Amino acid sequence: MSFTSTVKNEVSKLSTIDSENISELSAIIRTIGTYRDGIRIVTENASVARRVFGLVKDTYDVHPSVSVRKGYNFKKGFLYVLEFHQKKELILTDLSILDYGIYLDVPKSYMVDDEDLLRAYLRGLFLAVGSINDPKTSRYHLEFLVDSKKYAEFIQKCLNRYDLNSKVLKRDNKYMIYVKEAEKIGDFLRIIKAYDAVMYYEDIRIYRDHKNMTNRLNNCEQANVDKIIQTGMEQLKEIEFLEEKGVFDLLDEKVKIVATYRKKYPEVSLNELSEIISVETGTKITKSGIHHRFRKLKEFVNRIKKD
């Protein structure tokens, strides 16, 4: 599996809110969607196809049809095709692709107004048309390939809001937006919340180049902190879901204890949470024990959702 696919698989599994979903979908459907009869999205990546299906279903209550075809031009892989006709005009307008039936060259500013929406938009763009070299190769390279110069310049501005020093180059009848600096590419991976990829990327960079080591370690540390916070927030959502459904008290007593402490300390790591619970309850519990109980909580949430 290529490094690009690895990154796409990781960010395809992120938990996001509705406003972020709209920005992410806007970038995806604008770049790899067609809108003649209904809306049709084609991708070579199965994780991206699942991501698009879930976003469309959850955001607009529309269930796309999915088909799998052989790749064109003797490609060995498959193409995943998602199609739907319901709410076409509403969705394209909501995603700032159309405005009163007229195609917009670039989305309106509200799609990328704040940092979370901008991150989501860039994540969708990467899922659709992004590629990144494995840092084990001799070249550091991140690129996006789009159809129009105006849209390419819009993406360049979005990337450079994070000082990524991106540039635009015409390639045949398309436009490539690219980033060459290794440190900037690592920053981009953190921006789209590909935290596992950040750590892998930075590890390789540190191994290959010992200069600027402080900045690289800080990047890894920040990614680790972000991931701890993200994990805590996801666990909180699961706990709140059980409380809303009125089934929180059905949890095993040991699981209820770690859930209660997670509500009190939403931003601490599992290791820190185990130390806090051990001190405050007088009962020793390890990090792996905490992890096991949260896994049981997640399994219970999945059963409730399924039922």
Compute CA distances 131 → 103, 108, 123, 178, whole Å: 26, 25, 12, 10
| pTM greater than the 0.85 cutoff | no
Per residue in 239-285, pLDDT (tens digit) is 999 888 888 888 889 888 988 988 888 888 888 888 998 888 888 98
Do both 119 and 146 map to the same domain?
yes
Residue 214 lies in a domain: no
Is a pLDDT exceeding 90 seen at residue 51? yes
The CATH number of residue 125's host domain is 3.10.28.10
Q: Which residue range forms the structural domain that includes residue 63?
A: 3-208
Any domain includes 217: no
Chain centroid offset of residue 150 CA: 25
Q: How far is CA 133 from CA 58, 154, 192, in A?
A: 32, 23, 16
Rounded Cα distance between 111 and 23, Å, is 5
Same domain as 259, residue 133: no
- Distance between CA 53 and CA 84 in Å, rounded? 10
* Mean pLDDT of the chain, nearest integer: 90
Domain count, the chain: 2
pLDDT > 80? residue 210 = no
What are the angstrom distances between the C-alpha of 59 and each of 20, 39, 103?
Answer: 10, 15, 22
- Residue 17 shares a structural domain with residue 134: yes
